[in-house]
Structure 1
Amino acid sequence: MPAGPNETDFEHELAQALRRTGEGFAADDGERLVTGGLARGRRRVVRRRAGAVAGGVLALTLVGVGGAFTTGALDGGRGGLGGLGGLGGGGERGSVAAPPPAVGRNPSVAPVGPDAVLATFRRVLPPGGRLTRTAARGTADPLGPTAAGVYDDGRGEAAVGVGFFRVPPEEDGFSECPDKALVPHDACTAEDVPGGRLVVFQGYEYPDRRVDTKHWRATLQTADGLVVDLGTWNAPAQKDAAVSRTDPPFGPAQLRRIVTHPAWAPVLEALREPADPPSQGAASPEQPGAGAAGRAAFAGEAVRPTLLSLLPGGLTVTGRGGQDGYGYAVVDDGRGPSLVQVNAQPDMRDVEARLFPEGGYETLPDGTKVAVSRQPGEKGGRGVVMWTVDTIRPGGYRVVVSAFNSGAQHDAATRAEPALSIEQLKALATSEKWLALMG
């Protein structure tokens, strides 16, 4: 997909969208921005610049993006858990497309050591089970506090892990359920709870269900941007381990109780951002700081309507959605559903040469570069193809559009070709309407 919430093979899809907190949630997601259409190396570059676009990501940056085990808390399935203290997981670390979420320590609060974090994790787990093969990090660790292990309640071993990090309070990507068109799952709830927002997700390690590993997750985002992220599986390792039980060990009510347990208060307090002194010369609303200048994605509310307005006539829109910098629609021309998605990025000059290598594009009279690709889908759907038109205007404004011959990448093809032709995708991607997003 073009930069979008899909690349979450739960590791690749949310955008790996789901991948940052357990390496499976999201998140691929998260891989995140050109999730489809561009080579894997290009996708990583784009994701780096796209920020929270992950979709599967979709709105659940939660599920798609950022997470507790980004650091390799769970060893991709090589027989157990990796060492949290040293980014266990060997080769797994390199496969995470996005950097870990922000972590930090409140200097006015005593740090919580790894033994204490692990002890609290044991304390909040349901009684009747044993936690073995454990690993943990404390709040002073630059990678952030985590605790993980293999839990056995007599019904089979299960990998479990919890992680903590901090996101800017204005980012609510951990507060909503993902769209099933992008991240297949059995159930998901999102609700306000005292002090924050809780999402409980019941899905799968891989969106194409290539194996029966289930991934259930609970993520709590507090009002001031702290996140508690819990992941559980129905196998003794997140990946590459035989399923050992029908479901992960904790149901929705237990997941909720674990992440909202008051015993985590010392850990959260140690991560909480201390209040800034009143006279530090912080930028005023009229004087945007560095963050505003470097924003790499337009608001989803702006991208989606533009996409819908540019769709050719004769199509029925059966689904729609989006996230910052990303929008999608499922359309049907009477021959079956077809997913169409778009990413819009204001300034990609720093990676333009890599995204548009010499000889791989045509140049329009106004200087816009246009690259076209036709390739198989990337999410495991049988017979799925992906047609992509990637464009970049002088100045670095990039719009990339993809269309599929299925209503979701992880589902089997529903038609021979996408509902939009390459020429229609070109017209959509190069439309002057995208310039209106620049303000």
Structure 2
Amino acid sequence: MNTNTSARRRPGRRVAVAAGLVLALGLGAAAQASAAAPRTAGGKTGASAPSTAVSDPGGPLSGRQMIRVLKSLLPRGGKISGEQSQEGYAALVWDDGHGQSMIGVNAQHDMGDVLEGRMGCEGEYIECQALTLADGTQVKRAKRASEKGGSAVVWLVDTLHPDGRRVIVQEVNSSAEGGPVTRPKPPLTLDRLQTIALDSRWAG
């Protein structure tokens, strides 16, 4: 898989909005913030990884549907608490026995124009990788420091489909991004987050 990678050793608290949204925010705030973000040059390269996206998306999922899909995509055996959701947004606290982690997903439609040129790795990241899948879906895989201070870290995958549908999945090694660290690192790999983000069920 060819990628365009940009890494920073010193994590910063301010990152490009295209990296995703703070887990505590809902759909409206995330979309508004994305529209106000400065333009950045996004790296795009060819890749052969498959995507499960569909070409004819339906309407936004309800909060209940968002939670149901998110739960179904998490590894089995974890303890779930602290659920919150609204249309197009869901978050929960998941504990695999090694500490709690807040995991959230945000699904948006018609974001192609808003995010044009903004799916690259501009900004302050611990790690960042931007790539384009064979079907044209742009994917950003990143790790950054918490924007709410403290020592927590956020791992995220931000996807933008050719039809303008955007799905962001992120996790933090805490029960809340601004809370105390509950485990050394978030529980899911970036590969697992990418699989979750690319699941066709987010299309509605």
The verdict on a shared fold, with TM-score over 0.5 as the criterion, is yes
Deviation of 1:2 after TM superposition, in Å, equals: 4.2
Deviation of 1:355 after TM superposition, in Å, equals: 2.9
1:350 is aligned to 113
In 2, Cα distance between equivalents of 1:311 and 1:46:
30
1:300 is aligned to 63
In 1, Cα distance between equivalents of 2:174 and 2:23:
16
8 Å Cα contact 1:2/1:341 also seen in 2? no
8 Å Cα contact 2:34/2:115 also seen in 1? no
In 2, Cα distance between equivalents of 1:46 and 1:345:
12
8 Å Cα contact 1:405/1:415 also seen in 2? yes
Whether 1:361 and 2:116 are equivalent positions in the alignment is no
Whether 1:33 and 2:11 are equivalent positions in the alignment is no
8 Å Cα contact 2:120/2:140 also seen in 1? no
Q: Secondary structure at the match of 2:70?
A: helix
Deviation of 1:301 after TM superposition, in Å, equals: 2.3
Equivalent runs, 1:284-363 vs 2, <5 Å: 298-357=61-120, 361-363=130-132
Classify 1:32/1:407 alpha carbon distance in 2 versus 1 (closer, same or farther; 3 Å): same
Classify 1:420/1:358 alpha carbon distance in 2 versus 1 (closer, same or farther; 3 Å): closer
Give unpaired runs (5+ residues) of structure 1: 8-14, 16-29, 35-42, 49-295
8 Å Cα contact 1:390/1:429 also seen in 2? yes
Classify 1:353/1:422 alpha carbon distance in 2 versus 1 (closer, same or farther; 3 Å): same
Deviation of 1:374 after TM superposition, in Å, equals: 0.4
TM-score, normalized by length of structure 1? 0.33
Equivalent runs, 1:238-257 vs 2, <5 Å: none
8 Å Cα contact 1:298/1:346 also seen in 2? no
8 Å Cα contact 2:152/2:174 also seen in 1? yes
Deviation of 1:367 after TM superposition, in Å, equals: 1.9
Equivalent runs, 1:17-416 vs 2, <5 Å: 32-33=29-30, 44-45=33-34, 298-357=61-120, 361-380=130-149, 382-416=150-184
Amino acid at match of 2:145: P
* Larger radius of gyration between Structure 1 and Structure 2: 1
1:137 is aligned to none
Classify 1:403/1:350 alpha carbon distance in 2 versus 1 (closer, same or farther; 3 Å): same
Amino acid at match of 1:412: P
TM-score, normalized by length of structure 2? 0.68
In 1, Cα distance between equivalents of 2:147 and 2:178:
8
Give unpaired runs (5+ residues) of structure 2: 1-18, 38-58, 123-128
Identity %: 34
Classify 1:46/1:420 alpha carbon distance in 2 versus 1 (closer, same or farther; 3 Å): farther
Match of 1:428 among 196, 200, 203: 196
Classify 1:362/1:434 alpha carbon distance in 2 versus 1 (closer, same or farther; 3 Å): same
In 2, Cα distance between equivalents of 1:405 and 1:358:
22
In 1, Cα distance between equivalents of 2:121 and 2:76:
35
In 1, Cα distance between equivalents of 2:28 and 2:66:
20
Deviation of 1:6 after TM superposition, in Å, equals: 1.9
In 2, Cα distance between equivalents of 1:433 and 1:367:
18
In 2, Cα distance between equivalents of 1:31 and 1:302:
18
In 2, Cα distance between equivalents of 1:345 and 1:428:
15
Classify 1:406/1:342 alpha carbon distance in 2 versus 1 (closer, same or farther; 3 Å): same
Classify 1:31/1:411 alpha carbon distance in 2 versus 1 (closer, same or farther; 3 Å): farther
In 1, Cα distance between equivalents of 2:141 and 2:84:
24
Offset from partner CA, 1:317-337 (integer Å, 9 cap, x none) = 122111121101100011110
Runs of at least 4 residues off by over 4 Å = none
Amino acid at match of 1:349: G
Q: Secondary structure at the match of 2:90?
A: strand
User: Which fold has the larger relative contact order, with Cα–Cα distance below 8 Å and residues 6 or more apart in sequence?
Assistant: 2
Deviation of 1:345 after TM superposition, in Å, equals: 0.6
Deviation of 1:5 after TM superposition, in Å, equals: 6.1
Amino acid at match of 1:341: G
Classify 1:31/1:299 alpha carbon distance in 2 versus 1 (closer, same or farther; 3 Å): closer
